[in-house]
Structure 1
């Protein structure tokens, strides 16, 4: 892991927050003073004298953790580590590490929601089951979670161009049904406007006689990662972890730089909002027109 220096981190966050140069949030002025008698992260507009912090309006707003530790967390997010391991590496409490990881996941989720899938699609539905604890009865909301892997397919290579993995409502998805209606919530929420573009949707089934497709490997990959790294994830925060996994695929080699830019433009989320996060997924009926194919693969 690279050694991050506080001053270099401040300069990088400044560039992420104001890529076109400083802009006063009050008057849009571009000239500023750095307040040297206080924190180096405070700036004063030369025009209206409004003072603003470097972290205000970013995912790091209100933090007391040094930016160098935030940047270490950004870097380690590329490896998908647990909060426990992150806390040991950057020397913070588990609670702080957990909150940092989830704030970064929040920035990823905001980015994910702004990028709907388009063009030719492949869909693969299955159930995620958190490893059962021996001798402990799981309550109803801990049962298997239906989810769908959706991918935009590159028309030239035939490979996955972008991928999303999203939870589905229990009442909507059926284990042995592969009709497009089972994917209605996913299509309505995460696919671009069908009125402007007709999609070819290929529904991928499980079959022992065929090979493993790319989206099948992605599904196996996320299950293995959640089991190895966290011992499984409950339904409350499952979606955030699924989005994190997909982010690393979609962002590729630009994962660190992209996440840094997202941190600079995404407003923070509070611990209370994360703790009180609802886990229900609403069903939405799919009414779009599509060319639908089914393929028996695993």
Structure 2
């Protein structure tokens, strides 16, 4: 059997990682290059000229034009951190180099920090991934399916009405022959009704995208949003998952549920599903570029606004 070129590609080994990011100075230099690739720019006015000074051991940059003061970490997801950057970088490497997801509990053991710290660190990383995936639109041929996270609670509602289930849409863009997946979007929806699917299609499907889906009634809204739509007919069972036009979305959905079920004992779907699903999509969409995973994610994190503990805890899957 031929080797899977995704699974067997050369990634960033621990030896290579330590050589590139093994000290605090190397981490700071890497962050500076990623945040300001053309040299320091004032976050307030984009001015290029600055003076530097130290206060309580921290290096500050002061813009000569507007006098705004900033540090390397201020205004980023790293702001106000008490952890060494080497710990942050190691966490990012661990979270991106594993074949499957890594729970905060396992991350805690690798880093030697408290569970609370590991949870906060992981959710900040996932927040940056989520923000990076927010503007993504799929084009060309797009396979789409509906699914749920979570199971039924004892004494609660059964089936799709369970309070512990979170509905989400999973979509995979493929090549013209429907043979190879390229990008994916995995996002929670309030429910599978016309309004939710219309909103999802307008945000996530490019105007020229052609949708392939099963016969779920709400998916017929794709035609109303101006997208070509093919409804796949099958006899159900295993054949339904392998039909041309649905195979890759079902493969990704199966891998997603296996990965989440194996890595996480439990999490609050109604609050954090958007982050966990965005993490899966972020990893999938960059699966062919494993050696670049760490610098690309670091770039996303320096562009991500600060995410303090209350913000992380108060998250919901929907803004309104």
What TM-score results when the alignment is normalised by the length of structure 1?
Answer: 0.80
1:202 corresponds to? 212
Gaps of 5+ in 1: 174-180, 283-298
For 1:180-209, what per-residue CA distance to the aligned partner results, in whole angstroms no more than 9, with x for missing partners?
A: x883342123223x2xxx321111567325
1:172 corresponds to? 193
More helix by proportion, 1 or 2?
A: 2
Aligned residues of 2:143 and 2:212 also touching (Cα < 8 A)? yes
| More RCO (CA 8 Å, sep 6+) | 1
**Residues 265 and 171 (structure 1), Cα distance of their counterparts in 2 relative to 1, 3 Å cut:** closer
1:274 corresponds to? 312
1:163 corresponds to? 184
**Residues 63 and 28 (structure 1), Cα distance of their counterparts in 2 relative to 1, 3 Å cut:** same
For 1:112-149, what per-residue CA distance to the aligned partner results, in whole angstroms no more than 9, with x for missing partners?
A: 0122212221101122234x67xx54587733322221
The structural deviation recorded for 1:37 is 5.8
Which runs of 4 or more aligned residues in structure 1 lie more than 6 Å from their structure 2 counterparts after TM superposition?
none
- Once residues 45 and 282 of structure 2 are traced to their aligned partners in structure 1, the CA distance between those partners, rounded to angstroms, is 35
1:94 corresponds to? 115
The structural deviation recorded for 1:280 is 4.9
- Once residues 33 and 255 of structure 1 are traced to their aligned partners in structure 2, the CA distance between those partners, rounded to angstroms, is 33
Aligned residues of 1:10 and 1:41 also touching (Cα < 8 A)? no
**Residues 255 and 28 (structure 1), Cα distance of their counterparts in 2 relative to 1, 3 Å cut:** same
- Once residues 94 and 272 of structure 1 are traced to their aligned partners in structure 2, the CA distance between those partners, rounded to angstroms, is 16
- Once residues 67 and 318 of structure 2 are traced to their aligned partners in structure 1, the CA distance between those partners, rounded to angstroms, is 46
The structural deviation recorded for 1:153 is 1.5
- Once residues 42 and 238 of structure 2 are traced to their aligned partners in structure 1, the CA distance between those partners, rounded to angstroms, is 62
The structural deviation recorded for 1:247 is 0.7
Kindly report the root-mean-square deviation, in angstroms, between the aligned alpha carbons of the 2 structures: 2.7
2:173 corresponds to? 152
The structural deviation recorded for 1:171 is 5.3
Aligned residues of 2:188 and 2:317 also touching (Cα < 8 A)? no
Q: How many residues in Structure 1 have an aligned counterpart in Structure 2?
A: 268
User: Per the alignment, in what secondary structure is the counterpart of residue 286 of structure 2?
Assistant: helix
- Once residues 209 and 25 of structure 1 are traced to their aligned partners in structure 2, the CA distance between those partners, rounded to angstroms, is 54
2:293 corresponds to? 255
The structural deviation recorded for 1:51 is 2.6
Find 2:61's aligned residue among 24, 43, 50.
43
2:280 corresponds to? 245
1:227 corresponds to? 261
Aligned residues of 1:151 and 1:161 also touching (Cα < 8 A)? yes
2:229 corresponds to? none
- Mapping of 1:35-114 within 5 angstroms? 35-36=53-54, 38-45=56-63, 49-78=67-96, 79=98, 80-114=101-135
Aligned residues of 1:121 and 1:202 also touching (Cα < 8 A)? yes
Gaps of 5+ in 2: 1-13, 215-231
